[in-house]
Amino acid sequence: MRYGMILDLKRCYGCNACTVICKQRNGTPKGVFWGKVFATEAGESNHARREYKPAMCMHCADAPCVSACPTGASYKREDGIILVDQDKCVGCRYCMVACPYDARYFDFGAEGSYFPGQDPNPYEKAQTGKRKKGTVSKCTMCVDLIEEGEIPACAQVCPAKARTFGDLDDPKMKELIVRRGGYQEKSNVGTNPSVYYLPR
């Protein structure tokens, strides 16, 4: 059992629904997005186009963030999901330096409303309570939903069905990766990510 995500670049059209639902569910600080969608330009002249690439924590099989953590706060579950125990995190940020995907974020304790000059609303206050200042956070692959038999929120809301979540040991997942020529980001660094991209 090794949970993972397959991201289909042919289907993603940059709507950012995944980015929004991730931020809404996890209440990340201002400017912090565990899930992102990067936009680039391709082609020339009349054939110019926008291309989109979603990004998230890669939940690596050989995660350098885990081996770099001096307290054991960063750890890998048996199903391959990488998590951070905020009670053990001392904020040294070694894991952030070790991560080749820039998928970890430090909580400086930014408070307040997203709307300048206004007090935080009830939702903002509730979300702030989920965080712990001085610790590192990252995508959890919505482990709480997985344990309830659901799939990660980003995969649920994607209108283009560009995200496929499941067990990478499942023959159907393997077949999809092979058939479409799926690849891992920065495979040369030896982390063996649990996230695969299907090319356009």
Mean pLDDT by 10 residues, the chain (200 residues): 98 97 88 94 88 97 98 98 97 98 91 77 79 93 97 98 98 97 96 97
Question: Tokens for 39?
Answer: 């936009």
Do 100 and 187 meet the contact criterion of CB atoms below 8 Å apart?
no
Do 43 and 34 meet the contact criterion of CB atoms below 8 Å apart?
no
Query: In this predicted structure, what is the pLDDT of residue 112?
Result: 67
Rounded to whole angstroms, how far apart are CA atoms 178 and 159?
Answer: 24
What residue type is 8 in one-letter code?
D
Rounded to whole angstroms, how far apart are CA atoms 9 and 163?
Answer: 9
Looking at residue 71, which CATH number applies to its domain? 3.30.70.20
Q: Which domain holds residue 98?
A: 3-198
Total count of domains within the chain: 1
Do 84 and 103 meet the contact criterion of CB atoms below 8 Å apart?
no
Burial class (CB in 10 A: 0-12, 13-18, 19+), 146: middle
Burial class (CB in 10 A: 0-12, 13-18, 19+), 180: middle
Rounded to whole angstroms, how far apart are CA atoms 171 and 177?
Answer: 10
